[in-house]
Each structure stands twice: as structure tokens, then as C-alpha cells.
Structure 1
Amino acid sequence: MLPGKVPPEVLEKIVFDRLGVNDERVIMKSGVGIDAAAIDFGDSVLVATSDPITGAEKHIGFYAVNVNANDVATFGAKPKWFLVTILLPENADEELLEKIMEDMHKSAERLGISIVGGHTEVTVGLNRPIVIGTMLGEVKKDQLVTSNGAKPGDVIILTKGAGIEGTSIIATENEEELKKVFGKELVENAKRFLQKISVVKEALIAAKIGVHAMHDPTEGGIANGFHEMADAAGVGFRVYYEKIPIAEETRKLCEHFQLDPLALISSGSLLIAAPPEKAEKVVEAIRRKGIEVAIVGEFLEDNNVKVIVKDGKEIPLKRPETDEIWKLF
């Protein structure tokens, strides 16, 4: 298998039928395109998710908190409690651990999250640190949003644009090379995409208005995100390339390294399936918070139709086999 997420067909074949006992309190459990579990706690629902950070070394603690918080927020839940496993490479010094913890501490403070437990070790065979987070959040039962709730006719809303996280990673990890090509200003702007990683604010706004599903596209970018939402709901989709925001920094870095921005890791983007009558209200509410947002397509009844319209032509949008970021490692 290629680096990155295990393909959906392999998950279906090996993983999803080996999940222990069924528990009637589990409202939502593992599945393709489903980023968190939802567990019935009476009047409220506990939302839990787990994600590793493997493709970045700088700011890895920041990514760990925010990426996991995003998954919880897409269920309409407020992220509250975080557990983390930190795997350090051999010969790592205390300074590395301190930097990871400081980044996590500051990120958690900003989002009102408590770091409540985990595990830390030096691991044989690693050449970079790996941080694996588990985030827990809480939402009232009648306000829960699920990943698989998209319906035919729903409008697809995208916040911020394509390749948000990937843009920051590429600029940070290849800073000196890129400054020689594009100059300091563009590279510094691209590095600051790190500040856009959280989708908690816009997710909670959309959930309050009332939407059918939300998803934060990570590995495989927004192209994979469209597929994951559609697969989870058993629907198709049509998206429009010209309507998808792609920042100048993202476009130029992707052109330089010959990467597809639609398949570039995109934490910081949020995909929303909204009923048509609520779509504009969601867009305006998010825009009022200073967050870029656009309507980029619609979900379809025919689950065999998964297409993108580009230059007036409708063509299949293939699911990325792996994230574009791995081409640089």
C-alpha cells in the first residue's frame, strides 16, 4: 500500500468487520468518511476521534490538537478533552519534547481544551516524531451532526479553500528553496496558512443554523473529502473547479512541485452539506466571521456520479490514491 490513509476497500475488507462487540449506545461508529464516533450519554452525546500527525515535524503539537478538534467539531460538538501519545525518535533531546508540549498547551488553551492524559516514549526505528491524538467533545443530542448525513440536492459549501495545511507544510519544510524561487513575502504568507487550520468556529456556526453533514478533508485533500462524504451517505456529487478557492500561494507551490492542490492535505478547510434553503444563511454567517467560504457543488441521488466540471466539461473526479504531500518526503 502507498503512504497515507489505507484505501477504503481495504478498510471494508479487513477493518470494519473486526470492531469487537456491538453497543447500542454507539450512535455512530467507524466507517468510510466518518471521522468520529458518537456515543449516547442521555441528554448529551460524547463525540470521540483519533488522528496521528505523521507528515510534519515543525509545529507537530499544534497540528495534533487542531486536527483532532476539527473532527469533533464537524459533529457539532465542542472539543473539550484531549489525550495524546508522543513517539520520539532515538536520541531525541528534551528540547524537542518541550516544543511539542508547548505547542499543544497553547493550542489547547486557545480552544478551551484540557489535555487529560496519554503516553510519551522514545521509539526505535523512527527518524521523526509522531504524535497521535484522541479528542473528546460533547453536544446535545438534538444538535448532533453526522458525517454520513448528506442528502441528494444538498449544496456543498467549502470554507477557506484547497490545500490549506499542505501549503503551510510545504512552505515550512522547504523554506529556503522556495524563498529563492518566489521571494520571502509569498513563502511567509504560505507559512501563515498554519493559522487557518482550525475549523471549530465555522463548524459550530453551521451546526447551530442546521446542516445535514460536515467533514474536514485531511489526507487526499478536498478531492478525497468529496468522495468520503458521498461514500458515507451513499450519494454522488458534482463540483465546479472554477468555484473552488485556491490561494495564490497554494497554486504557485503546487505548480513548483508539480502537485495537485485538490489532492493536497487540507486541514483548515471544511466541507458542509446544507439544505438549499439554508445554504446562503450558512455562507453569510461564516463570512461575517471573516472566513472565506464558497458554494462549490451539490450532492446527487446517483451514487455512481462523482464528477468535476472544468472548462465547461464534466469529467470523473478520481479518488486520490495517496496525498500529494508524500511526493515531497
Structure 2
Amino acid sequence: MGKFLPGKLPYEFLKKLVFTRLGVSDERLLVGPSIGEDAAVMEFGDKVLVLATDPITAATKDIGWLSVHINANDVASCGVRPRWFLCTILLPEGSDESMVDQILSQIDRACKELGISVIGGHTEISAGLNRPIIIGFMMGEAPRKRYVRTGGARPGDLIILTKGAGLEGTAVLASELEKELVPSLGRELVERAKRMMYEISVVKDAMVLMDSCEVHALHDPTEGGIASGIWEMALASNVSMEIYANSIPIREETQKICSHLGLNPLNILSSGALLASIKGEEAEKALKALESEGISAAIIGCVKKGKGVWMIKDKERRALSPPPRDEVYEVLESLLSSK
């Protein structure tokens, strides 16, 4: 048996090893573990509780801030405002007070930005670590029928993408490979790319959409980029999707960094973008609502009956599949190991 590489557990092993071992069933579970779903949804009387968990394992800068926003995105992708945060902070041996102070200050700042309460957690000095690791857990609540799921897209819907493809991946590459990129692309572009990390929240995007139009599905495309996110939404919804390649917003910074490194912008970390499947007649209204809040967005495709995802470009139609692995991880491992 081959060894797993860093990143998400491959889809086939999720189905084989995870989804078959879920303990006892609970009739109050409305949305449970499944490919593409960003959070669990539990029924609590006339309300639902939305719960999500995600770790921060690779980053070392702003990890407390990132932990809050990454977990908040998963709850918001159910159309629900995140409210309560818990986390486990694992610190390497030799950590000092300043590291703990920095991480907790970041968590506090991010929670205040989003109106979230820290309600618990755990801190520990752990042997065998070479950097701090945070495992976040976010919760939110909403009225019983006021939530959506990744698997809710319907034929006739139009697909909207906010901000653009590859935001997080662009920022990570600009930060980690700054010395390699600046001589070719210039200091100004690389600095702009690094600042894209601070656009990764989709809480506002999701709340604007939920308040302005009929939303059938939302999804937070992270690892594997927009390509994986679209594929997961189609699979979870049991529908087919057609994507208009020339309509996908990709910023100059992303285009130039990916071109320089030989990467596909659709296959890199995309936290900060939100995929939304909107009732077709209301898609334009959704775009106007987002624009009024300063959020750029575009209609990038449509939902149809059937299965599979198809990319349409210059009258050509080809199947779109998720990358086997996020291309950010591949290029970082390749370049850093060669040093």
C-alpha cells in the first residue's frame, strides 16, 4: 500500500475508511459526513446547529487568525453566521510565552472581526512537533429551514463565484517563494499577492447571498482549488454542471504567478472564493447585491440534469476533474526540496 502525501485524504479512502465508520446514527443529524459538505447540521428544536472543524498545519504566520477564518468559512458555507469557536493549540517543545501570546492575540482579533465568541479549548506542549498546530472547531445556529448545503444545487441554477480563483494559493506561493518570484515578477506584484491572504473570509459573501436571493447551495473551495470545489458540488448534488472557462475571474497576480511556476489557477488553494448555486432568475440580483457590498463576483456556469462537470471554452467541451493533489503542495515540495 502506498503512503499518503500531505493534504486531504483521497476521496476513495474517505469512502472506504471514514464514511463506513460513523458510530451510531442520530435522527437529528440533517447533514452528515459526505464528499463536499463543509459542515454538519444538527436539528435542535426549531433551530439548527451547524458545526465544522479544520486544522491549520502548514502555515506558521498568522495561524491563530487563519484558524478562526478557515473554520468560520465552513459554517458560513451553510448559509449560517458563525458564532462560537473552540480550538486545540499544540505547541512544540521550547515554545515560550511570546508564541502563545501571539497566537491567542490573533484568535482574539479574528473573532472580534467576525463577532465570534471563544467558548473553550485546550493548549498543550507536544513532543515531536517542529511548529505549532491549531485544530479549530466552529459553531453557528439558524432557524430550522434557514440553511443550505453543498449538495443542494438544482437544474436551472446558475453558478456564481465570488472574488476569484486561487486567492489563498496565490498568497501562499508569494509568501513562501518570495525570493524566487520577485526577480521575475517584481516586488509590487508579489506584495499584492501576499496581501490576498487577508481576503480569505467568505462570511460576508455568504450572508449577502442568503439575504438577497434564493440560494440552493454554497461551497467553500479550498484544497484542490475551484476545479475540486465545482466537482464536489456537482457530485454532492447529483447533477451535471457546465462551466464557462472564460468567465472564471482570475486576478493578474494569480495568472502571473501560476504562469511563472507552470500551475493551473483552477487547481490551487482557493479559500476566499465562494461557489454559489443560485436560482437562475435571481442570479443577476445576487451579483448586484454582492457588488453593492464591494464583493466582486461572476456567473461562471449553469446546472443541468445528469452527471459530470464540463468545461466550455471556445466552443470546445471537455470533462473537468479534480486534481489528484493541490498544485501548491507539489510546487512547494519540489522547489524547497531542491534547495
In which range does the TM-score fall when normalised by the shorter chain? over 0.9
Amino acid at match of 1:230: A
| 2:38–2:78 Cα contact (<8 Å) kept | no
1:264 and 2:307 equivalent? no
The equivalent position to 2:16 in structure 1, one of 7, 13, 18, is: 13
Identity of aligned residues (%): 50
Residue in 1 that maps onto 2:84: 81
TM-score of the superposed pair, with normalisation by structure 2: 0.93
Aligned residue runs from structure 1 range 148-297, under 5 A: 148-208=151-211, 209-297=213-301
How far is the alpha carbon of 1:300 from its aligned partner? 2.1
How far is the alpha carbon of 1:257 from its aligned partner? 2.0
List gaps (5 residues or longer) in structure 2: 334-339
Distance across 2 between alignment mates of 1:77 and 1:240:
29
Distance across 2 between alignment mates of 1:227 and 1:143:
25
Distance across 1 between alignment mates of 2:6 and 2:74:
21
| 2:171–2:194 Cα contact (<8 Å) kept | yes
Distance across 1 between alignment mates of 2:110 and 2:52:
17
Please give the per-residue CA displacement for 1:187-224, whole angstroms capped at 9, x wherever unaligned. Answer: 11111112211110110111222210000101001100
TM-score of the superposed pair, with normalisation by structure 1: 0.96
The equivalent position to 2:306 in structure 1, one of 302, 309, 312, is: 302
Distance across 2 between alignment mates of 1:194 and 1:309:
30
1:119 and 2:122 equivalent? yes
How far is the alpha carbon of 1:236 from its aligned partner? 1.7
How far is the alpha carbon of 1:159 from its aligned partner? 0.2
| 1:190–1:249 Cα contact (<8 Å) kept | yes
Distance across 2 between alignment mates of 1:185 and 1:143:
43
SS at match of 2:272: coil
* Range with bigger deviation, 161-170 or 52-61: 52-61
How far is the alpha carbon of 1:311 from its aligned partner? 3.4
Please give the per-residue CA displacement for 1:222-249, whole angstroms capped at 9, x wherever unaligned. Answer: 1000011111111121111111011111
Please give the per-residue CA displacement for 1:96-144, whole angstroms capped at 9, x wherever unaligned. Answer: 2222221111011010001111122222332222211110001111211
Q: Runs of at least 4 residues of structure 1 off by over 3 A? A: none
Amino acid at match of 2:42: I
SS at match of 2:139: strand
How far is the alpha carbon of 1:60 from its aligned partner? 1.4
Residue in 2 that maps onto 1:311: 314
Distance across 1 between alignment mates of 2:106 and 2:177:
21
Amino acid at match of 2:83: K
Distance across 2 between alignment mates of 1:41 and 1:167:
40
How far is the alpha carbon of 1:181 from its aligned partner? 2.4
**RMSD across aligned positions (CA):** 1.4
List gaps (5 residues or longer) in structure 1: none
The equivalent position to 1:325 in structure 2, one of 307, 323, 328, is: 328
Aligned residue runs from structure 1 range 67-106, under 5 A: 67-106=70-109
SS at match of 1:142: coil
| 1:145–1:207 Cα contact (<8 Å) kept | no
| 2:165–2:266 Cα contact (<8 Å) kept | yes
Distance across 1 between alignment mates of 2:22 and 2:153:
25
| 1:55–1:326 Cα contact (<8 Å) kept | no
How far is the alpha carbon of 1:274 from its aligned partner? 0.7
Distance across 2 between alignment mates of 1:321 and 1:176:
28
Residue in 2 that maps onto 1:36: 39
Residue in 1 that maps onto 2:336: none
| 1:157–1:293 Cα contact (<8 Å) kept | yes
Structure 1's 95 and 312: CA in aligned 2 closer, same or farther, altered over 3 A? farther
The alignment of Structure 1 onto Structure 2 pairs a total of residues equal to 328
How far is the alpha carbon of 1:251 from its aligned partner? 1.1
